[in-house]
Amino acid sequence: MRSIMATIALAAIIGALALATATPTCDEAGVAQSKILIETPTIQFEEAMGNLSYLFGWTLAGSALSNDELDLGCSAISNLGHGKWAAQGLIPAYIQEPVCNQSHSSPNATLALPWELYYSTEVFVTQMLNAFAPNNTAAFTYLCNNLRFLSLDGFHLSDARVVNASCTKAGTLQPPRPFTAAPGVELNTNATVAYRNIISTLYGLLYASSALDETALNIYCAHEPEYIDGLNALLLNGTLVEETICNVKLPLTVDQSIAALKTWSSLAFTTVIENVSNVSGWLQWLANNLDVDAMNAVGLDGPAVLSQVSQDAMSASS
């Protein structure tokens, strides 16, 4: 399996289509597992998808071009998504809420950005708290003591929220944020760029997945350049969003959409969790403690995440 950084580097050279081609997607068993979660969701899956739905909604709202566009989304988000977002496990009412909130004024990326970052953090927190066995208190204590504020900042996640969540789960006190970064902590800019590209690709695929036919996809592609500046203001890679949407040539089936959502969400989680601590042996510790069943239950591709982390741990130690 290609490492995450190698995959992102390839995408930087030859575009989003290469990224989608180079990145393995979850298999039929993974899709079937997601369908069961969508039909009979776990609490943690509902929480993760709820936060992702709000995140998607704020991104739609913040990058909108006009009040008319917001009004349309506010009045008929289900029609806009053609029911295909709900089929993936997203919650249309939660997507709609930010769009309606923004519809009272002109589209404003500055207003939307804090909410986008808030829900990005909540998505990660839900995944992190459910990536380890529920009774593995020692794992959450380890997270509490070893997550690095500066590293979390680099992904535009709320450092205090993430650290506090792990400490609360462990039943211990949150360590105070140090005045200076822990010794040896540096921002991994390759990882933060990778994360930005991954979530941009995910947004593009979620947007494209609503299309019913090739005509709709062509319309999306033709108009997407108009959204690049707004998406960039929301800290996404607007050009990569455009490439992702324009490279979808046929309407995505529900199964393809579910696979894409699961794959790219898992890549985003893996990229962050691998790069939020500089403690010696971090990757090997993750490989020893991440729980496949727990990750599956929150909607991640547990086997893929563990496989990637284990491979990267082996590479780091060689």
* Confidence check: pLDDT of 19 > 60: no
Confidence of residue 176 (pLDDT cuts 50, 70, 90): low
* Model pLDDT, residue 16: 47
List C-alpha distances in Å: 240 to 1, 17, 20, 53, 245: 23, 10, 11, 21, 9
pLDDT tens readout for residues 35-83? 999 999 999 999 999 999 999 999 999 999 998 888 887 877 766 666 7
Which amino acid, residue 46?
E
* Model pLDDT, residue 174: 72
* Confidence check: pLDDT of 179 > 50: no
Domain ranges of the chain: 4-171+187-317
pLDDT tens readout for residues 131-165? 999 999 999 999 999 999 999 999 999 999 999 99
CB 124 within 8 A of CB 269: yes
* Model pLDDT, residue 74: 81
User: What percentage of the chain has pLDDT greater than the value 90?
Assistant: 73
* Model pLDDT, residue 252: 95
Cα–Cα distance measured from residue 172 to residue 144, given in angstroms and rounded to the nearest whole number: 8
Mean pLDDT of 278-282: 94
CB 170 within 8 A of CB 143: yes
* Confidence check: pLDDT of 186 > 80: no
**pTM of the full structure:** 0.90
pLDDT tens readout for residues 214-270? 999 999 999 999 999 999 999 999 999 999 999 999 999 999 999 999 999 999 999
List C-alpha distances in Å: 150 to 155, 160, 183, 269, 312: 9, 11, 11, 17, 22
Structure tokens at 207: 């947007």
